[in-house]
Amino acid sequence: MTNKHALLVIFLSAITYYLFGYTTPRTDFNKVFTYYSLLFIGFGLLYKFSNLSIKWLIVGGILFRLVILLAIPNLSDDFYRFLWDGRALLNGINPYLILPKNNPELISNGIELYKGMGSMNGSHFTCYPPLNQFAFSIPAIISENGIFISTIVMRLTLIIADIISLYFGLKILDNLNIDKRKILLYFINPFIIIEITGNLHYEGMMIAFLSASIYYLLQNKNHLSASLWACSVSIKLIPLLFIPLLYKKLGFKNLFIYGAIVLGINVILFTPFLSQDLVNNFMSSIELYFQNFEFNASIYYVVREIGFWIKGYNIIGLVGKTTPFIIIGITILISLFRKNNQTETLLTSMLFLIISYYLLASVVHPWYIAIPLFLCIFTNYTFPVLWSFTIILSYSAYKNHNYKENLWLVFLEYVIVFVYFVFEAYKTKTNAETKHSKLPY
């Protein structure tokens, strides 16, 4: 593809981002799917066939984000809760202790924010860690009343987070002698631009801290790495899952110190919010998430159907209590039996672990895929890139206000990804065996 054609693709993609961000409600699934597919075609053309330098494609990625800078998120209403928590914190109210449902008038525009987030979101206590709460308060500092200005501020912080992930992602790729162009699988991926920049999900900020942490881990700056890892955990809890995988790379003593730093920093960050009800409220929201909510699941839906056949009712409560122990078991096995002292293997282990977690989960919102997508660029696997496209099928649930999932589309989403994963696993194994057979003895 010539540079002129590549620039035309960037221009047409920018127009499509505009149409997606400003004119497409999530209830119009046909429109959502059509624009998303067009954006992925453009993404594929730019990544696979463009002769433009990586710098120009990065500029294109920034342009795409700026196109939707002024848009109100159209696929998710979570940002209303983010604004609620941030304004509560700025007004000296502990966000872990109040329910928007019971206290809509406590903060500026509180009633409007509660209506925006919906009764389900507003009827449970917040489950976002402290550093995320501080990030939520940034828009409130700039604009305590307006929603439009606040969303712009949130979006700018998340664009900065993506640029940080880009910076450290390039450094990690350079450290591993992997083609730097692979960072584009994340940075110009329509999924990231729409879910992080567009829909204002803070997985992007979590990944920014985690990318920096991984880079400094490779530089053997363990204390700095642990501090940044702690910040990542304090945005979203999910990076806690990966810490045991560092056992073979760090050794038991250094892993203990590393974990202690992560835990200690998070305790300090929680300190301003401490109260008798904090733990109960925070844990009740997490328990509610694991044992009550269902969306876009895979293995869980199969288990649920088996439960209906055997028990005659939804066994989500039992599955929710059992799944954490299965994940712990998988984590221990991957930590002990894979060669995680090697960086490439460690990053692949992180990818496998998070994928295992999501396959067993009862809730897999689209934006969750951001972290396996980022991790895969440092491995031999690209199936999360395919998943970042098929995940759009989950939005078919929003075609009506009953949020009824089309399980055939969910099935299609996962079958496509699973078949491609099997293909990649076989290919990786074959390549490894071929490489081993050519070694001199």
Inform me whether the pLDDT recorded for 31 exceeds 60: yes
pLDDT reported for residue 2: 85
161-170, 265-274, 298-307: least confidently modelled range: 298-307
User: What are the residue ranges of helices labelled H in 28-143?
Assistant: 29-49, 54-67, 78-90, 110-122, 130-142
Phi then psi for residue 221, to 5 deg, are: -95, 75
Average pLDDT over the chain reads 91
Which residues lie across from 295 on neighbouring strands? Answer: 363
Q: Which comes out higher in pLDDT, residue 291 or 240?
A: 240
- CA atoms of 288 and 335, how far apart (whole Å): 29
Q: What is the pLDDT of residue 409?
A: 95
Is pLDDT of 134 > 80?
yes
CA distance 270 to 283: 14
User: pLDDT at position 254, please?
Assistant: 96
Q: Tell me the pLDDT tens digit for each residue of 6-21.
A: 999 999 999 999 999 9
**pLDDT given for residue 122 in this prediction:** 86
d(CA 46, CA 6): 6
Distance between CA atoms of 312 and 305, rounded to whole angstroms? Answer: 9
pLDDT for residue 436 is more than 70: no
65-79, 80-94, 339-353, 392-406: lowest mean pLDDT where? 392-406
pLDDT digits (tens, 9 = 90+) for 335-349: 999 999 999 999 999
In this prediction, residue 434 has a pLDDT band, given cuts at 50, 70 and 90, of: low
Task: Determine how many CB atoms are found less than 10 A away from the CB of residue 108.
Answer: 16
Measured CA to CA, the distance from residue 212 to residue 116 in angstroms comes to 34
Q: How many CB atoms lie within 10 A of CB 145?
A: 12
- Answer yes or no: are the C-beta atoms of 127 and 231 closer than 8 Å: no
Quote the pLDDT of residue 441. Answer: 47
Is the backbone of residue 218 left (phi > 0), alpha (psi -120 to 50) or beta? alpha
Give dist(CA 349, CA 379) in Å, integer. 10
The two tokens of residue 335 are 């930590």
Instruction: For residues 130-147, give the mean pLDDT.
Output: 91
Q: What are the tokens at 170?
A: 């390039």
Mean pLDDT of 230-252: 96
Say if CB 99 and CB 48 are below 8 A apart: no
The arithmetic mean of pLDDT across residues 362-373, rounded, is 95
Least reliable range by pLDDT among 67-76, 111-120, 355-364: 111-120
Q: What is the pLDDT of residue 418?
A: 95
Query: What is the mean pLDDT of the segment spanning 379-399?
Result: 95
Q: Is it the case that residue 91 has pLDDT exceeding 80? A: yes
Q: Where do the domains of the chain lie?
A: 69-437
pLDDT at 109 over 90: no
Of 229, 263, 268, 260, nearest to 134 by C-alpha is: 268
What is the model's pTM?
0.94
CA-based nearest residue to 395, from 64, 42, 76, 20: 76
Are 210 and 164 contacting, i.e. CB atoms less than 8 angstroms apart?
no
DSSP per-residue letters across 268-313: HHHGGG--TTHHHHHHHHHHHHHHH--BS-SHHHHHHHHHHHHHSS
The percentage of residues in the chain with a pLDDT greater than 70, rounded to a whole number, is 97
Task: Report CA torsion sign: 113, 114, 118, 123.
Answer: positive
* Per-residue tokens: 402: 């009953």
Q: How many CB atoms neighbour CB 252 within 10 A?
A: 9
Does residue 311 carry a pLDDT above 90?
no
% of residues, the chain, pLDDT over 90: 72
Can you give the pLDDT at residue 243? 97
Average pLDDT over residues 195-207: 97
Q: Are 20 and 35 in contact (CB under 8 A)?
A: yes
Using pLDDT thresholds of 50, 70 and 90, give the confidence band for residue 433: low
Inform me whether the pLDDT recorded for 289 exceeds 80. Answer: no
